[in-house]
């Protein structure tokens, strides 16, 4: 007899670690409804067919936050499986070019220093992003060079 195991759906997500000129990172809080509602995250979204990860990140940030960004160096790629979803997060450093971030598709936005990220509750996969950012600072012995 074989067990009927159904795998959760898989999504490829482009994720932005958006830096401003004050070495702060933009995070957003998910809308309260739905799975993981109310948790903080690094903004981004689902890769569309025919799109590159940098194109996905730029599009999602424009749609979700109404700002223009420059997509810089790749930080980390994370494969994570939740009970309801399997994700591949491809994370890039990004820089704010123009606009003032607006919480269009999220509940709230906040600019924070890397050291302050522990004050916010993130989904489990995002903890690896924070760890990678901190490791990069230790390796560089300074704020990360994102471009």
**Beta strand 86-98 pairing with 10-19:** parallel
Q: Return contacts of 47-51, CB within 8 angstroms, 24+ apart.
A: 47/11, 47/12, 47/13, 47/14
42 is in an annotated binding site: yes
Q: Which helix (H) or strand (E) holds 11?
A: strand 10-19
Over its C-alpha atoms, the chain yields an Rg (Å, rounded) of 16
64 is in an annotated binding site: yes
- In angstroms, how far is the first alpha carbon of the chain from the final one? 54
44 is in an annotated binding site: yes
**Beta strand 40-41 pairing with 44-46:** unpaired
Annotated binding-site members for 8-oxo-dGTP: 30, 41-44, 126
Annotated binding-site members for Mg(2+): 44, 64
Annotated binding-site members: 30, 41-44, 64, 126
């Amino acid at each position: 007899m074989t067990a009927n195991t159904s795998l959760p759906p898989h999504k490829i997500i482009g994720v932005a670690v958006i830096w401003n000129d004050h070495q702060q990172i933009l995070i957003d809080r998910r809308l309260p409804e739905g799975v993981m509602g109310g948790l903080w995250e690094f903004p981004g979204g689902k890769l569309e067919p025919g799109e590159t990860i940098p194109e996905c990140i730029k599009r999602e940030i424009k749609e979700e936050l109404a700002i223009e960004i420059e997509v810089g160096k790749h930080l980390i790629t994370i494969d994570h499986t939740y009970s309801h979803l399997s994700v591949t997060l491809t994370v890039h450093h990004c820089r704010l070019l123009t606009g003032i971030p607006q919480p269009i598709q999220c509940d709230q936005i906040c600019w924070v220093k890397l050291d302050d990220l522990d004050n916010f509750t993130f989904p489990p996969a995002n903890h690896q992003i924070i760890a990678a950012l901190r490791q990069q600072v230790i390796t560089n012995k300074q704020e990360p060079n994102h471009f």
